[in-house]
Amino acid sequence: MSASPSRAMPDPGASPGLAAPSTSKALIVFASTLGTTIEWYDFFLYGVLTPLVLNRLFFPNLSPVIGTIAAYTTFAVGFLSRPIGGIIFGHFGDRIGRKTILVLTMLIMGGSTFLIGALPTTAAVGVAAPLLLLVLRVLQGIGIGGEWGGAVLMTIEHASPGKRALYGSWPQLGVPLGLMSSAAVVAVLNLLPDSAFISWGWRVAFFMSGLLVAIGLYVRLKILETPDFERAQREKRIVPVPVAVMFRDFKREVLLTLGARYVEGACFNTFGVFSIYYITHSLGLTRGDALTAVIISSALMLPFIVLSGWAADRFGLRRIFSIGTVFIAVSTVLSFWIMHNWGAHNYGVVLLGLIIPFSLGYPMVYGPESSLFASQFDAHVRYTGVSFAYQFSGIFASGLTPLIATALIGVGHGKPWLVAGYMVVVSLVSLVSVSLMRGISREDAQRA
């Protein structure tokens, strides 16, 4: 079937020399998934390298535990700045469109990541080094703060009827792909002699972002704006200050999405980031073993994210998300019990301990999450709503999790039971939140 005339017109925002933007759903899904993969590669590369090298180069005068906590603090700052990016770019995404903002966020994210690779260390410039690292981490957070909401809305708002959760699950692959690729790159560089890895090898991983961003921008410029945003424009429902309207008309939705997000962010950063510290320091495995375990569990997660999106369209967003929340609570306790009792210097046991909650449980909440959040907000505030909910909750759900988990493992004298208990409490908060959510947005309810 041919596109309607309004959809076939060239995009006035397209760069000269590029072909007219495409209406192909496959290209739109590919562009969004590639974009989120690149952005999350940039963001998680910092987390992967924190306990391996950044703590040593930028906080060298502290003990290993305190240095890691200090480095994780700069990791958390990226999450603190994400709501700023979410509000800024959510505002313009709801005002001028999703596509333009996604190009800008990729440039900010890629540029700051590249510059981290060029930073001098504390040994070279003193206290200026961690301060510059902090500034660039803030810019990373601002960039990713505007990226996620736009990327998922590009697919969800282009989706065929009854397939929004399935389409929305594809950009979610960017998180495990980004973590997996960042961990894989570091694992390859880790094969270098330790002196080479510490002096220049780690920088290569950050410099690679420049090439990835160039590829992502080329693809992203080839897609059209979303039908939902264009409909809001035609119906003159674009508002001057979307964040004000969001807090005025969608207070309940904001609070519940913040609570629902808790389990997803905490689960990911417990098993995708903190686990590297736990595996190397408490269980005695090498950093290469820890990275490989994270890579394998991230790879195994991929099909289950899309499957969860499909299941959410068939059986309901809230139902699949709730089942996943309960599964994460139970499997986290089981995972740490297995690793604590049999994981010391035992790679197979550690891998199993990650796969159960991370590869099987996490996709059940992350796959449908983007569509669940989008379903709570009308189109004229949707970019702002999903971005704020996802990014603001990232402060406590994601950014603080490695800090909290590292502190709890210290208080527990190396035993993981306090960390497991924390995840159970987090799961309960999210379960209550999602159970109180409405099924679809007010706008969609009126059209039904």
Which residue did the predictor score with more confidence, 417 or 42? 417
Which structure tokens are listed for 319? 């139902």
381-430 pLDDT per residue, tens: 999 999 999 989 988 998 789 889 999 998 988 899 999 999 999 999 99
276-298 pLDDT per residue, tens: 889 998 999 998 899 889 889 98
Alpha-carbon dihedral angle through residues 296, 301, 302, 305, given to the nearest 10 degrees: -170
32 to each of 65, 98, 168, 204, 212, how far by Cα in Å? 38, 11, 10, 25, 14
Which residue did the predictor score with more confidence, 62 or 23? 62
Treating both helix axes as pointing N-terminal to C-terminal, what angle do 227-234 and 379-394 enclose, rounded to 10 degrees? 130
pLDDT value at 4 more than 50: no
With a threshold of 0.85, does the pTM exceed it?
no
- Residue extents of the structural domains in the chain: 22-441
- The verdict on domain 22-441 having CATH code 1.20.1250.20 is yes
* pLDDT value of residue 226: 86
d(CA 383, CA 242): 9
